[in-house]
């Protein structure tokens, strides 16, 4: 079932790039990021409240620390992504942004001790090669 959610994530990420490129035209990229963030904030809290997921949950300091760090990383990623979209072609920015997939594979092995299979390594190397093709003149 996880792969269905992953495919939906990919589809909406693709739409995000297209909508963001159109939306960032004529406004500062940081303002565009801030507007998008408010929309996401309202949507996320709306889902949590409707589903009652906030009830009876205890969040440890460890969990909160890593959720905050993840939020900071997400915010920085979005800020740089919107600036890249404002300056570049979406058909180049979005694929280069997906270099994060290869970086995640490497970091998951280093920090989470996840095994990297040959199949995963080849996929990561292909992503890296594709990124280089797009950015090298």
CA distance 27 to 31: 7
* pLDDT confidence of residue 27: 95
pTM as predicted: 0.83
CA distance 13 to 7: 10
Supply the pLDDT for residue 135.
Answer: 86
Q: How far apart are CA 34 and CA 48, in angstroms?
A: 21
137, pLDDT greater than 90: no
In tens, the pLDDT along 38-91 reads 999 999 999 999 999 999 899 999 999 999 999 999 999 999 999 999 999 998
| Domain locations in the chain as residue ranges | 2-89, 98-137
Residue 10 has what pLDDT?
87
Task: Please provide the average confidence, as pLDDT, over all residues in the chain.
Answer: 93
Task: Kindly tell me if the per-residue pLDDT of 136 is higher than 90.
Answer: no
Could you tell me how many residues make up the chain?
Answer: 137
For 38-72, give one letter per residue: b (16+ CB within 10 A) or e. Answer: eeeeeeeeeeeeeeeeeeeeeeeeeeeeeeeeeee
């Amino acid at each position: 079932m996880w792969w269905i959610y992953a495919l939906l994530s990919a589809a909406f990420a693709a739409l995000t790039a297209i909508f963001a490129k159109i939306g960032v035209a004529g406004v500062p990229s940081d303002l565009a990021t801030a507007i998008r963030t408010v929309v996401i904030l309202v949507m996320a809290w709306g889902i949590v409240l409707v589903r009652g997921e906030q009830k009876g949950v205890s969040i440890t300091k460890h969990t909160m620390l890593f959720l905050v760090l993840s939020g900071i990383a997400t915010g920085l990623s979005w800020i740089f992504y919107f600036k890249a979209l404002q300056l570049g072609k979406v058909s180049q920015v979005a694929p280069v942004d997906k270099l994060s997939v290869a970086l995640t594979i490497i970091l998951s092995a280093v920090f989470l001790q996840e095994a990297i299979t040959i199949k995963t390594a080849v996929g990561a190397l292909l992503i890296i090669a594709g990124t280089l093709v797009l950015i090298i003149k």
